[in-house]
Every structure is written in C-alpha cells, then in structure tokens.
Amino acid sequence: MASMVDSLWHGFADMGSVVANGRFVVARGAGTRIWDAEGNEYLDATAGLWFTNVGHGRTEVAQAVADQLTKVAHYSGFGDMAADVTVELADRLGDIAPVPGSKVFFTSGGSDSVDSAAKLARRYWHELGKPEKNIIVGRTKAYHGMHVAGTALAGIPVNREGYGELMPDAETVDWDNAKSLLGLIERLGADRIAAFFCEPIIGAGGIYLPPDGYLDEVRQICRDHDVLFVADEVVTGFGRIGGSWFASSRLNLEPDMVTTAKGLTSGYVPMGAVFIAPDVAEPFFSGGVWWRHGYTYGGHAGAAAASMAVLDITERENLLDEALRLEGDLAAALSPLAELDTVSEVRTGLGAVTAIQLADPAEGPAMMGRMRAQGVSGRVAGQGALQISPSFVMTTAEVDELADRLKTALTF
Ligand code: PLP
C-alpha cells in the first residue's frame, strides 16, 4: 500500500507524515469499489471526495469526453463565445435549477464557484446603487473551498490560520442558530450585508444535518432583510440529498444563488457552476454591465460533455431515487454502530450522507488505517466524524457489507 514518496505534494496533508508513512495510491475503480496499486480492493465509502455519484468506471462518460475532445476540446467562454455543448448544458441545468429559469455561470470547481458567487453578490448590490452592502456572512463549521473568499468564510478556524486577513467584510455566525444571523444583521445593519452563505448539510466541518426549522428560518431572515441567500451545494447538489437534484429543491429554499461542482461531472473531469436566480441576474442581462470575471476553463467543452453524460445516467438509472433509498439503507445498517464503545453517535436522515461520530476524535487518523485494513476507503471529517457518502449505485447488500467491515474496524 505504501509507496516511495517523491515529488507529489498532497492537499490537506502533513507532508512530513506522508513522507514517513507512505501514501495510498489508487490505481483503478469500478462501481462502488476501488483498488490500490497493489491490487487490494476497497469499498469506496465516500465516493472519492463526495463526487463519484454515478460510480467509478463509467465508459459512457469517458466516451462522451473523448468524442467531444475529438470535435473541439474547448474554445473560449469569454465575451460572446461558447462551445455548443456548453450552451446546451447550461439550458439543461437551467431547467433543473432550484429556481426555474436560473442563469448558469460555469467555473472549474467548487472554490471557483464560491468566490464567483461572493464577487457576484457584492457586484449585484453595487449595480443596484448600494456599494456599501458588501459584507459576506458565513457560519461556524462551514467549508466553502480554499480560494480567497472561501477561506475567509471558513468556519473551521484552522483552515484560516496563517494567511492574515484575506477578505475584508467577512463575518461568521453560529451554524445552528438562526438568531445569531438575525443578531448580526441587527448589529451591523441590513444595508451593509450582501449575502449569507450556507451549506444545507455541514460537510467537511463534521457532517451535521440542519436543526429542524433552521434553514426555513435563515431563509426567511434573508428575505426579510434583503440579504442574498447563497446555498453552497458543492456537496449536496446533483442528487446527494435524494429525491431532487438539489437540497434546495427538496428543502424548498429558493436560493438567490447556488454554488455547485463535484456531482456536476461526478468528478470525471473538473467543473463547477453557479446558478443565479433570474432577479439577481437581471441587472447583468439588461445591457450596459460588464461583469469582468471568468475562468479560461469555465464551461470547458470536455467537462460539459462529461456532465451531459452524467445527467443522462442519473435520469436513466433513477439515481435521485436511489440516493433516497440509500438514506434508508444507511440509517438501517449504520445506526446500530452507535452501540459500539468507540462511537458516540451516528447521524443519518438526509440522503446518501451519514456521519459516524468517533467517541474519541483523536482516533481519527488511526481509524483511516483500521478502515483500510478492513477494505474500506473512508475519510474522517471535522471533529472525528467518519464520512459515509457512497455513490448512488451502492446496493443494499453493499451497504450491509460496508457496515460489517466498519464494525470490525471500529471494534478495538
Ligand atoms: N464548498 C463546499 C461545501 C465543499 O465541500 C467544497 C469542497 O469540498 C468546496 C466548496 C470547494 O470545492 P473544490 O474543492 O472543488 O474547490
């Protein structure tokens, strides 16, 4: 499993520890399983980093990308230019957006989407003659990627450490208490606050479901105070929550903007997108406003082709319903693990997402090793939460197999 460490610098890693202990090298994937460089098989409990929603090894997606690259790999998405497949994908996404008729701004990933939405929120109020309305509000436990705005909004304090102030006018409120947002708005004034960023489920910060009523309350507070509500659905978008394409749809949030990536292409190639509700897009579409923002690879033709194929598979195989089926399967198979001494809580109940909370969060790194030894490729999110977020193609029998392997790993 371990290999010689040479040039590769990993993200989110203590490289000293990687050098000392070796890396985990993935050589192949098929469905819900991956194989390491030595041929050992693992159940992929996390769908990579929350992205392989349609499962590994889909030749249909690879073929769609190859066909597109052969036609034209990409061109430019600036000014009046776009590849045909990019235009087609945007229209398809506009149709399934949580707010019908949303405009779609393509990016290269989730961090791009978050920073684009933060800039767009400020620019929107600027266009409406309110340039002082520029504070962006995030939450404790939040993860919004690692570009400048996303890092400034990081609710996991260590993720902000050591960079100084990256973005002025970024504020943080409690992740689970709507009164905290209301208090901030009353203290600073609604005329100063541009947008509130909110993950429907706290992901990297420890996998916490929203408290009952919380999302409705913060949504209404934003409406009442003219604060843009931005749902960060990089993790929850494209079916993870089950039953709908977006958590915002299932939970009826009607966001002003939605940031996405990951499931958009199932991670086969990098791509992100921001959905912008029609009334927020309007000032930019009525003529005379240039939004001087964009990415060379935003809407990349090959990525757009991958996304079209992923959307086809999702529809054809009813994967939104499968994610809902997994909500029940994961709860049934994994909730009993809460009885183990090493587990303090199992959080389930919203789509193909479960957290197994370790009684001792310090056991997290060692648990990764124990899981691998039992044939599970997993991940420990904030504060010792084992992330279970499989591909939507994981069968009920495979969920039981995963639960058995996890039980052994957690019994020590
Ligand atoms: N927003 C959320 C909620 C995320 O979970 C992530 C990544 O995990 C991001 C943004 C950043 O996405 P990326 O890593 O593609 O830049």
**Confidence grade of residue 5 (pLDDT, cut at 50, 70, 90):** low
Structure confidence by residue, pLDDT tens digits, 228-251: 999 999 999 999 999 999 999 999
Structure confidence by residue, pLDDT tens digits, 212-225: 999 999 999 999 99
- Site residues for ligand 1, CB cut-off 6 Å: 109-111, 114, 143-145, 199, 203-204, 232, 234-235, 261
Expressed in angstroms and rounded, the spacing between residue 116 Cα and the centre of ligand 1 is 13
Q: Looking at ligand 1, which atom is closest to the CA of residue 114?
A: 10
Both tokens of 290, joined, read: 């240039």
- Helix, strand, coil percentages (3-state) for the chain, rounded to 5, are 40, 15, 40
Helix (H) / strand (E) containing 206: none
CB 201 within 8 A of CB 241: yes
pLDDT at 235: 98
Tell whether the model's pLDDT for residue 327 goes beyond 70. yes
Q: Looking at ligand 1, which atom is closest to the CA of residue 142?
A: 3
* CA-proximal residue: ligand 1, atom 13 (nearest): 110
Work out the average pLDDT over 262-275: 98
Expressed in angstroms and rounded, the spacing between residue 143 Cα and the centre of ligand 1 is 7
- Specify the residue for token string 């990098």: 270
* CA-proximal residue: ligand 1, atom 7 (nearest): 145
Q: Looking at ligand 1, which atom is closest to the CA of residue 204?
A: 5
Our mutation pick for probing the ligand 1 site, out of 10, 108, 116, 235, counting the most ligand atoms within 8 A of Cβ, is 235
Work out the average pLDDT over 113-123: 98
Kindly tell me the burial class for residue 79, based on how many C-beta atoms sit within 10 Å of its own C-beta (0-12, 13-18, 19 or more): exposed
Q: Looking at ligand 1, which atom is closest to the CA of residue 110?
A: 12
Structure confidence by residue, pLDDT tens digits, 169-179: 999 999 999 99
Closest among 337, 77, 355, 17 to 203, alpha carbons compared:
355
pLDDT at 4: 54
Expressed in angstroms and rounded, the spacing between residue 232 Cα and the centre of ligand 1 is 9
Q: How far is CA 152 from CA 10, 27, 50, 177, in A?
A: 22, 35, 23, 20
How crowded is residue 59: how many other Cβ atoms within 10 Å of its Cβ? 9
Expressed in angstroms and rounded, the spacing between residue 137 Cα and the centre of ligand 1 is 17
Our mutation pick for probing the ligand 1 site, out of 143, 201, 230, 269, counting the most ligand atoms within 8 A of Cβ, is 143
* CA-proximal residue: ligand 1, atom 8 (nearest): 145
pLDDT at 273: 98
pTM over 0.95: yes
Work out the average pLDDT over 53-59: 98
**Confidence grade of residue 6 (pLDDT, cut at 50, 70, 90):** confident
Structure confidence by residue, pLDDT tens digits, 143-164: 999 999 999 999 999 999 999 9
Expressed in angstroms and rounded, the spacing between residue 108 Cα and the centre of ligand 1 is 11
Expressed in angstroms and rounded, the spacing between residue 50 Cα and the centre of ligand 1 is 9
Expressed in angstroms and rounded, the spacing between residue 140 Cα and the centre of ligand 1 is 16
Percent of the chain residues topping a pLDDT of 70: 99
Our mutation pick for probing the ligand 1 site, out of 114, 136, 265, counting the most ligand atoms within 8 A of Cβ, is 114
Expressed in angstroms and rounded, the spacing between residue 308 Cα and the centre of ligand 1 is 21
Angle subtended at Cα 365 by Cα 363 and Cα 368, rounded to the nearest 5 degrees: 105
Tell whether the model's pLDDT for residue 334 goes beyond 60. yes
Tell whether the model's pLDDT for residue 2 goes beyond 80. no
Mean pLDDT, the chain, as a whole number? 97
Helix-then-strand count for the chain, H and E: 14, 15
Give the Cα separation of 341 and 354 in Å (integer): 18
pLDDT at 77: 95
- This model of the complex carries an ipTM of 0.99
Work out the average pLDDT over 31-52: 98
